[in-house]
Structure 1
Amino acid sequence: MCVVLSLSIAPDEFQFGRIASTDADVRVQLANVVPGYQAPFTLFWVHGDERERFETRVREHDQVDGLRTVCESDESAQYSLQWDHQADEFVAATAETNAVVLDGSVDGGEWRFVLRFPDRDDLLAFHDRCRDLGIDFDVDQIESEAGCAHRTTSLTDEQREALLLALDAGYFDIPKQTTLTDLGDELGISQQAVSQRLNRAIRNCLHDYFHLPSA
């Protein structure tokens, strides 16, 4: 049975928190990443009017190799961060204990995370690992999810990769936050190939959702 942990942690308790901790008045929220395609804690949204100030402070951090704007609007922007995520002990602890980061955000105070673990043993391993590393956090809530197992779908790895990337980059937002060309550049394929891959992925998801036979 899956277990979901909601926790609060100070920015100075982990490296990514220190990188994203600036004097800019913004809200930072992690974006879901595509497993096997992007490293964890590399894509995130920044909301607020002082994004330029935030960018400057992050680029000046000695642990940052690069910061790239993926897409932006008047109110928010998504960034791709280049940094040594493996050196962050909190990030490493989530990976070592099979945690999935469902949500992570900060708005001028503590970071709040929602982590899902395959079972209680993994949750306890995460707790013990953080304690051994001297990482302090507050437990806000622990919930068991009897039905959290992923539904079996007919998506291919490539379709799932494209669909999650499009979702994270705001392709399905109104108005769109990115284009097929941008997605193709990220995936290393043509605009037409992205369009076909997304259409097949959406069709497969609809077939799975409505329990229809595969086409």
Structure 2
Amino acid sequence: MSTIAAIRIPAEEFALAETLSRVSGVGFETVRVVAQDDDRVLPLVWAQTSDEDALERALADDPSVENEQLLADLAGERLYRMDWVANIETVVYALLEHDGTVLSASGRKDGWHLRILFPDRNSLSATHEFATDNGVTISLERVTDLNEGRGSQFSLTERQHQALLAAYERGYYEVPQEVTMEELADEFGVSAQAVSQRLHRAYRNLIENALVIGRPTDTVEE
């Protein structure tokens, strides 16, 4: 059964460590992470910073980065194509040896948070063991098995997933609304309050898993 692992790696043990330590307040969000071979990863990376000159200097000096290329320059954000060439052994191992897929990754001075899709739990265990053997500190923050439908990748229960889809398809999120909470409740055979609570819990799980990487949830409510 495919498994999604939310993991944390200390900033000093992953790519862009020197840049994160030198540029105050900088943050990174990957768009795509592809392993070219066993010693090089080619990501697309959004960098958020208020000091673009300091960022450019740090990237040029960072030993974990090569071939950085600026693709877009927006207010406070820059999109780069670059090669990661150091401190990436664990990610390369997961991608090449176990057919893993990096769904998301974000890095700040306090560490990198990644969500990686593995074919099964054995692949996750092997990657964790590989990291430990190579001196990389991996903290498992959440492990989700994809056995409850498509919504489970965002820690949604089946009921939450169904409620979100129904609300979207019936036009609940349109302006003006095409269906009321009471009408959705009648469709599910529950109270309007129950539907409201289900949607709010679904929003929380979506935001946490899609936008707030690395903050664990203790329980999943329906």
TM-score by length of 2: 0.58
Question: Cα RMSD over matched residues?
Answer: 2.5
- 2:188 aligns to what? none
- When the two structures are aligned, how many residues end up with a matched partner? 145
Query: What amino acid sits opposite 1:18 in the alignment?
Result: A
Q: C-alpha deviations, 1:150-174, integer Å up to 9, x for none? A: xxxxxxxxxxxxxxxxxxxxxxxxx
Distance 1:83 1:116, change over 3 A: closer
Maintained 8 Å contact 1:17/1:111: no
TM-score, normalization: structure 1? 0.59
In the aligned structure 1, how far is the partner of 2:121 from the partner of 2:84?
31
Q: Show the counterpart of 1:92.
A: 92
- What is the alpha-carbon distance in structure 2 between the residues aligned to residue 11 and residue 34 of structure 1? 20
Q: Does the aligned pair in 2 maintain the 1:5–1:115 contact within 8 Å?
A: yes
Paired residues of 2:26 and 2:49 also in contact (CA < 8 A) = yes
Partner of 2:22: 23
Aligned equivalents of 1:134, 1:75: Cα separation in 2 = 35
Q: Which has the higher strand share?
A: 2
Structure 2: gaps of 5 or more residues: 151-222
Partner SS state of residue 21, structure 2: coil
Contact kept, 8 Å, 2:65 with 2:82, in 1: the verdict is yes
Unaligned stretches of 5+ residues in structure 1: 149-215
1:46-57 residue pairs with structure 2 within 5 A?
46-57=47-58
Task: Note the C-alpha offset of 1:41.
Answer: 4.5
SS of the residue corresponding to residue 128 of structure 1 reads helix
8 Å CA contact 2:30, 2:44 repeated in 1: yes
Deviates more, 1:113-122 or 1:23-32: 23-32
Within 1, Cα distance between the matches of 2:114 and 2:100? 11
Q: CA deviation at 1:104?
A: 0.7
Please report how far the alpha carbon of residue 109 of structure 1 lies from its aligned counterpart in structure 2 after TM superposition: 1.1
Greater Cα radius of gyration, structure 1 or 2 = 2
Report the alpha carbon displacement of residue 27 of structure 1 after superposing the two structures with TM: 1.3
Residue 33 of structure 1, CA deviation: 4.5
The structural deviation recorded for 1:75 is 2.3
Is 1:105 the counterpart of 2:106 in the alignment? yes
In the alignment, the residues of structure 2 paired with residue 111 and residue 33 of structure 1 have an alpha-carbon distance, to the nearest angstrom, of: 14
**Cross-structure match for 1:71:** 72
CA apart distance, 1:23: 2.4
**Runs of 4+ residues deviating >4 angstroms:** 33-36
Q: Secondary structure at the match of 1:29?
A: strand
3-state DSSP of counterpart to 1:68: strand
The change in CA–CA distance for 1:131 and 1:26 in structure 2 (over 3 A counts) is same
d(CA) in 1 for partners of 2:110 and 2:64? Answer: 21
Is the 1:26–1:51 contact (alpha carbons within 8 Å) kept by the matching residues of 2? no
Q: 1:115 to 1:20 in 2, by over 3 A?
A: farther
